[in-house]
Chain A
Amino acid sequence: MQPLSLISVENLNFSFDRKHAILLDINLHVYENDYLVIMGPNGGGKTTLLKCMLGLLKPDSGKVRYHGVKTGDLGYVPQFTTFDRQMPLRVYDFIESGLIGRYRPLMNRVCDKEHLVDQQIARFHLEPIAYSVISEISGGQLQRALLARALIQDPKILFLDEPTTFIDSESRGNLSSILFELNKKIAIVMITHDTSSIDDHVKNIACVNRNLYYHCRDEYIAESLEKVYGCPIELIAHGLPHRVLKEHK
């Protein structure tokens, strides 16, 4: 049975100046309960593709279609560099800002707002730093706060952009198990250029370097990421299970 597609990207082309293509004829589906990793080299267009999928960037041509999801159903964990970490904002207020889509002037009492925030704080063990300013917390804590902000509005799909860049290996392990738990209920789309963050729970992989090469879960073990990286990639693994994807054709 064909799984239900939540987002479909159809013949998408994108360039910042209409001359140099960043993304070329991209076709991609995000399925229900998908765990899709978008990988590829820096500058390959991963973040651009993600922003097109979120509706933050408008493609030159092609379509991004939502099936049964609204923009409010999209949770987004951006890179640390996209926002101002020096803002005078407490972790509590930061998480609460995830509800901004429901804010209406004069009716700013979102039902159970405190309860929703407290729930997220407990879920990510942020109690000790709930009233600290975000500039004073660690990378791992900020990552959890970002997750809490994205999840407070109960998204159906969670997008993460390079979530492992600024956090230590212990936090990476935590993140991996959090995502595994989440994936039982919602779809996950994660960008990374770091192959070590692709664990056993990942279902599908899309390699992006201007073009897109899709590898679904059932794919038999084959060649390497050579084409997309433009050079042979050596795999180094400490006895962890790993997979080798088939050659891009």
Chain B
Amino acid sequence: MSLLQYGFVQNALLAGLLLSIASGIIGSLIVVKRDTLLIGGISHASFGGLGLFYYLGLNPLLGAFSVALLSGAVIGLSSEKKLHAHNALISVIWAFGMAIGIIFITITPGFAPNLLTYLFGDILTVSNVDILYIAIYDALLLLMIFLFFKPLLVYLFDKEFAALHGIRVGLYRLFFYLFISVAIVMMIRSVGIILVLALLTIPPLIAMPFCKRFPCIMAAAVVLCLLIFVGGFFIAYYSNLPTGPIIIVLGTFLLFLSKAICAVRKKNS
């Protein structure tokens, strides 16, 4: 296949592989914690930083990164006791970030040509440096999971029991949200602010009914995410359509397919 000889294609596929590792693991954690609103909140909030840095003439992604980390820290340090307060905070951060972003982009003179890239992503523009960052993140994430998976699981499952056994629940919560925030910003480059929610949630949602154990869900989500990435990429390439949306449409299609399989299995059993 001559397509694979192109550097940007190799980059896109390598980025897809590395992003799948991050997305499968982080996505599974978020879906199991039932905190999917958080992804939308942080990704949209990061638009505020994007707009500000764009206005200042700095790298917009760095702005998105800073604001995502800040939002993650604010959510991570807030009290977890009441779910409605948690969700309300996320909604406010979501809308405020978007509003700030739109204001700064409006007052920036001239046309904002790259805006669509950030909203819908373009995996073909991923650079070598981006790939290096994603690789470093993956290594760090895998190391943390390897060292702290069991306490993390207890933290996610039963916070009081975790606290009783000396697990520093507040620290786990903060790190949990910081890791999520960074993952979200990395995804923005490939699928964009609006679609990142789907990329993180669809693979674990497909995997969950077929897995009894958490590590199984994470592994399956990584593989599914890669499948969606690569499949979406080639479909987009040959149909001359944007990659981000095609990746999401393919993911949603697979999700419905898996639900149909589940329904048939249930009927037969």
Contacts and interface: CB of A to CB of B under 8 A. Distances in A.
Nearest to B81: A16
Which of B34, B157, B211, B217 is packed against the most chain A CB atoms within 10 Å? B157
B164 A76 contact: yes
B110 to A, nearest CB: 50
Contact of B164 (A71, A88, A103, A106): A71
Nearest to B144: A105
A202 B162 CA distance: 29
A76 B159 CA distance: 13
A76 B161 contact: yes
B154 A97 contact: yes
Contacts of B213: 88-90, 93
Interface size class of B (residues with CB under 8 A): 20 to 34
B32 interface: yes
Interface string B19-37: 0000000000000101000
Contact of A83 (B147, B157, B167): B157
Nearest to B217: A88
A21 B208 CA distance: 44
Contact of B156 (A87, A106, A133, A149): A87
Given A87-B32, A93-B213, A78 B160 contact: yes
A149 B162 CA distance: 12
B164 A74 contact: yes
Given A105-B148, A108-B150, A72 B165 contact: yes
Interface in B123-165: 147-148, 150-151, 153-154, 156-158, 160-165
Interface size class of A (residues with CB under 8 A): 20 to 34
Contact of B212 (A56, A74, A108, A131): A131
B163 A101 contact: no
B166 interface: yes
Nearest to A76: B164
Contacts of A17: none
A181 B92 CA distance: 53
A55 interface: yes
Interface string A35-53: 0000000000000000100
A2 interface: no
B214 interface: yes
Contacts of B164: 54-56, 71, 74, 76
A82 interface: yes
Contacts of B154: 97, 100
A103 B150 contact: yes
Contact of A78 (B32, B158, B208, B212): B158
Nearest to B33: A84
Contacts of A54: 164
Nearest to B163: A56
Contacts of A83: 157-158, 160-161
A90 B150 contact: no
Contacts of B151: 100, 103
Nearest to A136: B212
Interface string B161-201: 11111110000000000000000000000000000000000
B214 A89 contact: yes
A189 to B, nearest CB: 14
A97 B157 contact: yes
Given A71-B166, A76-B161, 12 more contacts: A51-B160, A71-B165, A76-B164, A78-B161, A84-B158, A87-B156, A88-B212, A97-B161, A100-B150, A100-B151, A101-B165, A105-B148
Interface of B: 32, 34, 147-148, 150-151, 153-154, 156-158, 160-167, 208, 211-214, 216-217
15 contacts: A54-B164, A76-B160, A83-B157, A84-B156, A87-B157, A88-B213, A88-B214, A89-B153, A90-B212, A100-B150, A100-B151, A100-B165, A100-B167, A106-B147, A133-B212
Q: Which 6 A-B pairs have the closest CB atoms?
A: A101-B165, A83-B158, A105-B147, A87-B157, A100-B154, A100-B165
